[in-house]
């Protein structure tokens, strides 16, 4: 964020699961570390730094409260002693407005969120005619509060049930203050960052991967940037002549996590995205999804031969521009590949299909009245697929589907998995991951294919679909877990007989496992059996100052 005098920038830097609050003068190659707070890797930007109007200190969130620290140094000071989603400070430096859970202020209140005014030496009070009453927000998407430069209004943006919503709130508030929702007919994309221009009428905002100018009175939008990368507005300079923005992207590569604990090894790393790799049991072939042709396709590598495509949008009668592939997985005998896909990205529901690696028409495994929700895995004999599916009415089922036709076997509803399952090579168990609940901790549930036997193992970390994958060893004695959810990217090994867990390796905290397209990932033994194939995500891009756009 720009400093009030326009000479410095405050920003967050993720370092080994800490959020560092740093300040850097324009034209300088060095930054100053003010403080750092513990941060969850899965939520890397809870609240951006906020300059005080006089530029003497910076406000930041530490996960439990709002604190401030002097730019010249010193100890942090608590400004608001409760958890909050976001905050804004009035231009006269007299008042904070925070968005927090109502019960944080008064335990007797409901669990809804509310806007509260925090004046110096006064008890927090609710903003009069608060538009957030009885509303819900998505906590993982940080909302934003910004006072206009003239201090006459507040802009509030948040992500809730109706998507991104923007409000203009009169300031100061009072019984006659009437908050006004703006751009109600615009379907904003996330992230929804914005900042005011000096005229206190127009805002600059992120929308559709670009930067736009919005008139809060006329409710018009004008695009001012265009790039092949996602552009995210961060801040507008105090004089309104320059924009601070990020050009952000994720690089998806296929890497190997060696079982001997040595560093990550690149398998396929190019300028385009490759992900969802899996190898046949004998290591002769490996299938993966690539976008090297400009659209997602499934390719295969066999022996030392050049890779070739085996599934394209044309094979499925889908449009290039709308087609979306989720996960692809090669059968253990290397003869087929199973995958879930959609005719149009963003739509609910998807198909589960199988294609022969030597060619031929794809085969849909489910009736028209059924659709694959997300998860599936191959049986070790390559003749069946375990899948979590749903009917068009939303009824969830855990089933084993024969590839060549035949009776579908239904497993108990308790088999519900939050990650991609894995079938043991000896055929005895299907492993699924289940997140912790009030009554039990996070666990891996092993279920027999007939549903009659079960075994529970403690899971390292919470097996949420984001960045968590499991795979069996060839002898079915060990389950390997690749997890970048909590304590940084780590490879674990679980002894199936004893339940004991050991850590094989920890990796650089900038790495995440799993493609972002469907928030799920898979793991596979590498072709030589000496490592685990995973998709890794690396952030790429940078922060830029844009002159002359306004």
Q: What are residue 462's phi and psi, to 5 degrees?
A: -90, 120
> In Å, how far are 165, 215, 220, 544 from 186, measured between CA atoms?
9, 13, 10, 27
Contact between residue 485 and residue 464 where contact means Cβ atoms under 8 Å apart:
yes
Q: Which residue carries 């009072």 as its tokens?
A: 174
Q: Sort residue 310 into left (φ over 0), alpha (ψ -120 to 50) or beta.
A: alpha
DSSP per position, 130-172: -TTTT--B-TTS--EEEE-TTSSEEEEEEEETTEEEEEEEESS
Q: What is the CA radius of gyration of the chain?
A: 26
Q: What are residue 316's phi and psi, to 5 degrees?
A: -110, 5
Q: Which residue carries 């805002």 as its tokens?
A: 203
> In Å, how far are 47, 87, 122, 123, 243 from 118, measured between CA atoms?
18, 10, 7, 7, 30
Contact between residue 31 and residue 21 where contact means Cβ atoms under 8 Å apart:
no
What is the predicted pLDDT for the residue at 29?
87
Q: Which residue carries 């379907």 as its tokens?
A: 187
Three-state DSSP state, 181: strand
Cα–Cα dist 11/460, whole Å: 33
What is the predicted pLDDT for the residue at 45?
45
Q: CA quadruple 459, 464, 468, 474: dihedral positive or negative?
A: positive
**HSE on the CB side for 217, CA within 13 Å?**
5
Angle (nearest 5°) at CA 48 between 43 and 54: 165
DSSP state, residue 431? E
Q: How far is CA 536 from the centre of its chain?
A: 13
What is the predicted pLDDT for the residue at 43?
43
> In Å, how far are 195, 331, 350, 351, 389 from 367, measured between CA atoms?
50, 22, 12, 10, 11
Query: What tens-digit pLDDT sequence spans the chain (550 residues)?
Result: 899 999 999 998 866 557 889 999 998 989 999 998 876 544 434 578 999 999 999 999 887 899 999 999 899 999 999 988 899 999 999 999 999 988 888 887 776 789 999 998 788 999 999 998 877 787 667 789 999 999 999 999 998 877 889 999 999 999 999 999 999 999 886 657 899 999 999 999 988 878 999 999 999 999 998 876 678 888 999 999 999 988 767 788 999 999 999 999 999 988 888 999 999 999 999 999 998 888 889 999 998 889 999 999 888 887 665 577 888 999 999 999 999 887 765 455 578 899 999 988 998 887 655 565 568 999 999 999 998 887 656 566 888 999 987 888 889 877 877 889 999 999 999 999 887 766 677 899 999 999 999 999 999 988 877 789 999 999 999 999 999 876 779 999 999 999 999 999 998 766 788 765 555 788 999 999 999 999 998 777 678 888 887 7
Cα–Cα dist 291/297, whole Å: 6
Contact between residue 543 and residue 246 where contact means Cβ atoms under 8 Å apart:
yes
DSSP state, residue 2? B
> In Å, how far are 455, 468, 488 from 495, measured between CA atoms?
13, 18, 22
Strand partners, 24: 9
Cα–Cα dist 109/116, whole Å: 13
Pairing of strands 202-207, 210-215: antiparallel
As given in the structure block, the two tokens for residue 292 are 């090297």
Biggest distance spanned by C-alpha atoms of the chain: 75
| Domain map (residue ranges) of the chain | 1-78, 250-539
Q: Which residue carries 């090894």 as its tokens?
A: 265
Contact between residue 212 and residue 549 where contact means Cβ atoms under 8 Å apart:
no
**CATH number for the segment(s) 250-539:** 2.120.10.30
């Amino acid at each position: 964020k720009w400093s009030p005098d326009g000479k410095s920038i405050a920003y967050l830097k993720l370092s080994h699961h800490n959020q560092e609050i740093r300040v850097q003068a324009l034209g300088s190659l060095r930054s100053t570390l003010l403080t750092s707070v513990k941060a969850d890797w899965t939520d890397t930007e809870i609240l951006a730094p906020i300059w005080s109007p006089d530029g003497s200190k910076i406000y930041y969130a530490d996960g439990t409260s709002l604190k401030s620290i002097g730019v010249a140094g010193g100890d942090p000071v608590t400004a608001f002693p409760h958890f909050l989603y976001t905050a804004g400070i009035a231009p006269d430096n007299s008042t904070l407005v925070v968005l927090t859970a109502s019960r944080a202020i008064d335990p007797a209140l409901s669990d809804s969120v509310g806007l509260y005014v925090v004046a110096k030496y006064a008890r927090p009070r609710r903003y009069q005619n608060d538009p957030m009453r009885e509303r819900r927000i998505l906590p993982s998407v940080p909302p934003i509060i910004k006072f206009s430069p003239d201090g006459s209004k507040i802009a509030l943006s948040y992500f809730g049930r109706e998507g991104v919503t923007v409000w203009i709130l009169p300031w100061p508030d009072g019984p006659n203050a009437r908050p006004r929702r703006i751009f109600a007919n615009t379907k904003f994309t996330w992230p929804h960052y914005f900042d005011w221009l000096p005229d206190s009428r127009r805002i600059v905002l992120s929308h559709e991967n670009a930067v736009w100018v919005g008139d809060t009175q006329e409710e018009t939008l004008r695009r001012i940037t265009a790039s092949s990368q996602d552009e995210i507005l961060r801040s507008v300079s105090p004089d309104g002549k320059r924009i601070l923005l990020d050009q952000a992207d994720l690089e998806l590569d296929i890497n190997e996590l060696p079982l001997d604990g040595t560093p990550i090894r690149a398998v396929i790393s190019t300028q385009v995205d490759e992900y969802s790799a899996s190898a046949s049991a004998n290591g002769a072939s490996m299938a993966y999804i690539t976008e090297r042709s400009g659209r997602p396709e499934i390719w295969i590598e066999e022996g030392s031969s050049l890779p070739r495509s085996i599934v394209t949008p044309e094979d499925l009668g889908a449009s290039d521009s709308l087609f979306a592939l989720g996960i692809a997985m090669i059968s253990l005998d290397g003869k087929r590949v199973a995958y879930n896909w959609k005719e149009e990205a963003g739509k609910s529901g998807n198909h589960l299909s199988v294609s022969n690696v030597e060619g031929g028409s794809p085969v849909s495994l489910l009736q028209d009245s059924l659709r694959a929700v997300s998860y599936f895995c191959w049986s070790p004999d390559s003749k069946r697929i375990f899948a979590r599916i749903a009917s068009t009415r939303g009824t969830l089922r855990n089933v084993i589907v024969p590839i060549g036709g035949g009776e579908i076997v239904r497993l108990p509803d308790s088999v519900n998995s939050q990650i991609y399952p894995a079938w043991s090579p000896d055929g005895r168990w299907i492993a699924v991951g289940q997140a912790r609940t009030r009554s039990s901790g996070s666990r891996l549930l092993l279920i027999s294919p007939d549903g009659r036997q079960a075994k529970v193992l403690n899971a390292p970390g919470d097996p949420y679909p984001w960045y968590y994958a499991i795979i069996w060893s060839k002898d079915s004695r060990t389950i390997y877990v690749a997890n970048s959810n909590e304590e940084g990217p780590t490879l674990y090994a679980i002894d199936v007989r004893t339940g004991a867990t050991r850590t094989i390796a920890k990796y650089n905290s900038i790495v995440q496992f799993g493609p972002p397209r469907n928030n799920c990932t898979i793991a596979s033994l590498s072709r030589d059996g000496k490592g685990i194939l995973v998709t890794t995500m690396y952030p790429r891009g940078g922060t830029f100052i844009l002159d002359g756009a306004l």
